Amino acid sequence: MYDTLIIGSGPAGMTAALYAARSNLKVGLLERGIYGGQMNNTSEIENYPGYAHISGPELAEKMFEPLEKLGVEHVFGLVKDIQVEGRLKKVITEDAVFEAKTVIIATGASHRKLGVPGEEALNSRGVSYCAVCDGAFFRGEDLLVVGGGDSAVEEAAFLTQFANSVTIVHRRDELRAQKLLQDRAFSNEKISFIWDSVVKEIKGENRVESVVFEHVKTGQVTEQAFGGTFIYVGLDPVSDFASGLGITDESGWIITDDHMKTAVDGIYTIGDVRQKDLRQITTAVGDGAIAGQEAYKYIVEHG
């Protein structure tokens, strides 16, 4: 029986574990893969206070390090369901059931798919969602990046170190990304833009060979050759396992108050999976600190 069982070991979950363990709670940190979450997909973090530059995996390592010394138990598993019996919470994975007095959901978000022909068939054969993981396989290629947010613009810049050229296609004529990232992209000689256009199809026999675009204003359809396509069109919440609890909005984001409390007593939600405006490492760790502290207060009150 854990005092608090945290699901997901991204920056939010690891911070909640730090705060809960330092309050002397018995803490379990349940993860389906490796610790670090989405931070593992980025080579360079420049907006985490205290570090001018740090890679995602390195920051993950630094967050993880103190948890073992504090007695946080690391548990491997993919959570499928959460059931509530009075004050008892049962967290159900593929092959085990864990019991806890409080649960902190920190399962983050996953990349959204475009849903166009060719995307699925050519996945890992030129279609990628992770420049850090796959970028080096595309040396000398002409690459396409789809999207106009921070991820698309930042990862396009990352890809220029390997690629011959990087084209960003965006469905509007204005980027959503932070101004600083935009300015860098506009001044990067290897990056060009296709505006007001959406991808209709990704084509290729065994690997990506070309991409078909439609101009959203004129309807004109064009096709251009590319050696790879990196897709960054936003995030979906990872919250399927919580659908029975009635704590999500219509898109699956989990609703909390300022104390990270959900509608179910003793269940908290933090980080990217929470319904909120700014999804960043800094906001994830802020949420985590609050939830770790709230779990402690809950245990003091209810035992």
Residues noted as catalytic: 130, 133-134
Which partner in ligand NAP, ligand FAD, none is near 149 (CB below 5 to 8 A by kind)? ligand NAP
Distance CA(147)–CA(145), nearest Å, equals 7
* Smallest separation, CB 83 to ligand FAD (Å): 15
Closer to ligand NAP by CB, 56 or 266: give it: 56
119 near ligand NAP (CB under 6 A): no
151 near ligand FAD (CB under 6 A): yes
Distance CA(282)–CA(303), nearest Å, equals 31
Nearest of 234, 235, 243 to residue 79 by alpha carbon = 243
Distance CA(233)–CA(213), nearest Å, equals 15
Contact pattern from residue 155 through residue 184 relative to ligand NAP, giving x for each residue in contact according to CB under 6 A and a dash for the rest: ----------------xx---x--------
Q: In this structure, which amino acid lies at residue 72?
A: V
Distance CA(246)–CA(244), nearest Å, equals 6
* Smallest separation, CB 141 to ligand NAP (Å): 21
Distance CA(245)–CA(35), nearest Å, equals 26
Residue whose structure tokens are 């548990």: 75
Our CA dihedral for 287, 292, 294, 298, rounded to 10 degrees, sits at 150
Closer to ligand NAP by CB, 77 or 149: give it: 149
Positions that interact with ligand NAP (CB under 6 A):
47, 114, 146-152, 154, 171-172, 176, 198, 232-235, 279-280
Positions that interact with ligand FAD (CB under 6 A):
7-13, 30-33, 37-39, 41-42, 45, 47, 78-79, 106-109, 151, 155, 238, 241, 271-272, 279-282, 284
